[in-house]
Chains A and B, each alone.
Chain A
Amino acid sequence: MRTLMIAAALMTGVLATTGAMAQTPAQTLRIGLQEDVGSLDPARSAQVVDRIVFASLCNALVDIGPDLKFVPMLATSWTTSADGKTLTFKLRQGVKFQDGEPFNAAAVKANLDRYRTLPASNRKSELASVDHVDVVDPYTVAIVLKAPDAALLATLSDRAGMMLAPNTLADPAGVATHPVCSGPYKFVQRVQNDRIVLEKFDGYWDAAHYPIQRVIFQPIPDSTVRLANLRSGSLDMLERLAPSDVNTVKQDPNLRFVSVSGLGFYDVTFNVGNGPRGNTPLKDKRVREAFELAIDRDAINHVIGAGIFTPANQALPRSSPYYDAALPFTHRDVAKAKALLKAAGHEHLDIELTFGNSTVSSQVAQMLQAMLAEAGINLKLRPTDYAAALNAAHNGDFEALFTGWSGRVDPDGNLHQFNTCAGNLNYGHYCNAKVDRLLNDARTKPDVAARKPLYDAAVKLLADEDPIVYLYAQPWPFALSKKVQGFTPYPDGLIRLRGVSVKG
């Protein structure tokens, strides 16, 4: 009898401790992020990684499907007026914000006005075409534009279309530290550089399709450590797996590798007119072409990219309906490159490549250096840290710049700012009036059929002039524990948790 009692006591003790150790309740998803999130206020957010958190925290007016077509979210339908200057949205009814406030057209107006007028708002230029917002009735809102803007719908699927609870808008500091949105998960806690915790919002209009109860985002910048955490079970999934770890994950029976080619790209931008350093042989089109001819994109993909660095020859992603499939790829041709350089009068050339230091960018730079050397171009490497690279880019303190762009749904987002004469992100100051006309025009046309020919023409011109050599499309490689079910990657790299569950 005594033995039985002791055994029972021991059992209870053991069970109690194991119970205490199983801290993570079922249906908690722990996600490893590549970097720490910046501001949690959609108006101030400026990083790609912020959008991953927003995907669960907030709803925008519309969303995209895996095919990049727009689907209803907070808006159930939308129409554009004949002159293209008014965009009318019919809003979903019965939606509540995470603090209980009702969602309606007034809330939409309040948010859009805030994005357009808040002094430090990063969304102002995105909404530059908006003249004013009208509340037609409680569930209909009309956005009146100064000029037709085909890219606006895409903008409203991103941060500029995310709706915060109106009562919280008055306190900007509060929004950043405790955002209240209308998404499937509400904000619980944030410890900078450590974690962001979200909890299921039971009042969400589509709550039934979200099995996960708790989401914990953990920024772990070191990709090796991030993967180590996944393998040891401290994480359930991670984003932006390092290419060098792809094979390890593929071979691990407990993990699953899921990847999709993204909306963005990595490229080498030439300084052709930004300040005194723009006066290099790179001003000659033939030199730029030779540069591109010396590059073997497949080798980069194979050696550094583990097969996920899909070669790119244009700014637009393959998943986009605007992608120009007819544009030929420039394959490596060292002899032709040498001939071009000779014709341009620069048989041997020194070019400096500036880049923000990271493992992958460093490898790509070194590989480029080796490839270009064979064509007679001596590529000098100038690694810097990210902030200094940005500075150099703005001030034209570079000859060639290796950089990237996370990509936007609308083709305008990948082209306009980079290639128009006054473009914000046109670091090389490339200027071609024809390209400007084409890209500005394409912004105002109403549909794919009307816009595609314009983009095709622009892309062809750019491929011919080569102010930017596109290397590969930005991939979104995810590694998941086998326990995670139902996850689909989207080309925008966001983690959408609808239908995602964790097997216990």
Chain B
Amino acid sequence: MNMQLLILSLIALLGLGSMEPAGVNAGSSGDISLGQEKELIDQQNQALVQEELTLGQTYRQLLDQKRAVLEQLRALNPKGGTTQDWQDLWENYLKYKDADDDEDDYEDNYKDKLKALRPKGVDKDAFKSKAEALLKALQAVQQQQDALEQSQETHDQKVQQLNQTKKDHTQKTGKN
């Protein structure tokens, strides 16, 4: 990331716009050679590959966390439902939490699902309390996943921009 900031700063310093390597404006004052342009693209490429790795590590970590919490939910009543049932409970919970006050259906659906997954002979409130603590934990992971998806989207845009820049460069060098 630091490398990328450095490169972006360098590009900005050269007045060539974000993610546009120097060579794009070859011919204007402050020209840089194709070799220098290639070097800048190489650095950007390296930075994006590193960013991809970081995003990948975070993605896997969050996915693992989410699955671990889902497993803990499932452990509340292992014989009481499938993984899909617990996933449905989680999705119903999200809808219920996101719903407006007058949308009672979501609340009803969630409560029905929760009731269906409660083991026989287990205190209703105790089960609800345990389940909701885990659902809140899932929600926290989900928020991080949403933020990561935004970062991934931004990253993908940078990759696309860099692909275009690479193409422009190779056209100039006659390698296309």
A, B bound: no
A binding-site residues for B, Cβ under 8 Å: none
